[in-house]
Amino acid sequence: MLMQPPSPIRPPVARVAVLLAAVALATCFAPWISRASGSDGEREIPLTLLSFNIRLASAPDGPDGWEYRRGLAFDVIRKLNPDIVGFQEPELEQIHDLIDAFGDEYGIVGRSAGDGAPLTADKADGKFNAVMYRTDRFRLRYHETFWFSETPNEPGSVGWDAALPRIATWVKLDDRHSGETLYVYSVHLDYASQRAREQSVALLLGEFLERPTDGPVFVLGDFNANELNPAMRLLLDDPAKAGGRGALDPRPLADTYRVLYPDVDLDEIGTFHDFTGEPLTTKIDFVLAPIEIPVLEAGIIRTHADGRYPSDHFPVYAVVDVGR
């Protein structure tokens, strides 16, 4: 069954001011791409990650409402069979549907953006950035939700001219296959305020610094910004180009899709389509992984049935090698 341990309020994020200064400076499933075992006998251990903006159930979407596309969304998960999913936008109704559909295989954690309600609550204000993980592969060590604002421990807080409360949920997991401890963040940045996006990424980097360095960090999310946006550049640039960030955070990240497809034109890879199937923006959904971890597979999932799509975003996924 899905379990959610207590999630204590964490102390204020440290070193955020330093990182804010850094901000100022600054097709379907892809074919499998395998990596042979190294000469040192290292095992290849694939880890499949899915970022899925699932579109809130209360939106007035008519024939694209949640009740009509719920099964399509679940099919995406069943066919990919991911180890970890980072959701954006599910409301409590959708969380309960996910529990009903996948509770025998996955755990799920998170708190609502509006009031910080846990998944076990009878009602919740706002959306979740839930993280779902395979219980046969991972042991949950810890999880937490924080708000992208000047008061990140305050449920419902809104920062930097954002239109809505925005959150990140993270988990610390022990991988029984690789023996690794890893951290996974599900992130949703604001659509209205560029300042909020940049300050939110700076806060996110501050969160990374608060984590022990005993495992890789993966970030799954809807950033409402493409790879050229200054907020994304702070996450993706080489350490030497990130305004001194390399000295602050020893774990730079890469867009897994771009690792395999560096030359695809940005205009050809949009992920928001508003249920039309035709991208209306460039790619704003990402699976980010440490630059040193091999990417075996990555893709944008554009599946649909009878003209209906699982969400107004195309989910994105990656398979990486966490072998030793």
**Contact in structure between 47 and 319 (CB atoms under 8 Å):** yes
- Residue 299: strand, helix, or coil: strand
- Rounded CA-CA distance 261/242 in Å is 22
- On whether residue 6 sits in a domain, the answer given is no
Beta partners for residue 175, in sequence order: 138
- On whether residue 8 sits in a domain, the answer given is no
- On whether residue 3 sits in a domain, the answer given is no
**Contact in structure between 320 and 293 (CB atoms under 8 Å):** yes
Q: What is the pLDDT along the chain (324 residues), one digit of tens a residue?
A: 444 443 333 434 444 443 444 434 333 333 323 333 333 557 899 999 999 999 999 999 999 999 999 999 999 999 999 999 999 999 999 999 999 999 999 999 999 999 999 999 999 999 999 999 999 999 999 999 999 999 999 999 999 999 999 999 999 999 999 999 999 999 999 999 999 999 999 999 888 877 766 789 999 999 999 999 999 998 887 544 544 444 344 457 999 999 999 999 999 999 999 999 999 999 999 999 999 999 999 999 999 999 999 999 999 999 999 986
Angle between helices 194-210 and 16-25 (to 10 degrees): 130
What is the per-residue pLDDT for 214? 76
Range of the domain at 129: 16-321
- On whether residue 5 sits in a domain, the answer given is no
What pTM was estimated for this model as a whole?
0.86
Tens digit of pLDDT for each residue in 27-72? 333 332 333 333 355 789 999 999 999 999 999 999 999 999 999 9
The count of residues in the chain is: 324
- Residue 202: strand, helix, or coil: helix
- On whether residue 10 sits in a domain, the answer given is no
- Rounded CA-CA distance 279/309 in Å is 13
The conformation of residue 250, written as its DSSP 8-state character, comes to S
Q: Between vectors from CA 191 to CA 73 and to CA 182, what angle results, nearest 5°?
A: 60
Strands 181-188 and 217-222: parallel
Tokens of 136: 């046969």
CA distances from residue 93 to 9, 125, 252 in whole angstroms, order as listed: 25, 11, 36
Tokens of 275: 């249920």
Tokens of 126: 């706002």
With residues binned 3-state (H G I as helix, E B as strand, rest as coil), the percentages for the chain, rounded to 5, are 25, 25, 50
Strands 285-290 and 253-255: antiparallel
H helix or E strand, kind and range, residue 77: helix 66-80
What is the per-residue pLDDT for 43? 86
Q: Which of 47, 29, 26 is nearest to 261 (CA)?
A: 29
Give me the number of domains the chain comprises. 1
CA distances from residue 136 to 6, 85, 176 in whole angstroms, order as listed: 21, 15, 8
Angle between helices 92-102 and 66-80 (to 10 degrees): 40
CATH number at residue 242: 3.60.10.10
What is the per-residue pLDDT for 5? 40
- On whether residue 114 sits in a domain, the answer given is yes
- On whether residue 9 sits in a domain, the answer given is no
- On whether residue 216 sits in a domain, the answer given is yes
What is the per-residue pLDDT for 187? 98
CA distances from residue 28 to 65, 130, 266, 318 in whole angstroms, order as listed: 23, 24, 16, 12
Strands 106-109 and 131-134: antiparallel
Q: Between vectors from CA 117 to CA 111 and to CA 118, what angle results, nearest 5°?
A: 60
What is the per-residue pLDDT for 31? 32
Cβ neighbours of residue 40 closer than 8 Å, sequence gap 6 or more: none
Task: Kindly tell me the sign of the dihedral angle through the C-alpha atoms of 1, 66, 86, 134.
Answer: positive
Q: Between vectors from CA 292 to CA 291 and to CA 297, what angle results, nearest 5°?
A: 75
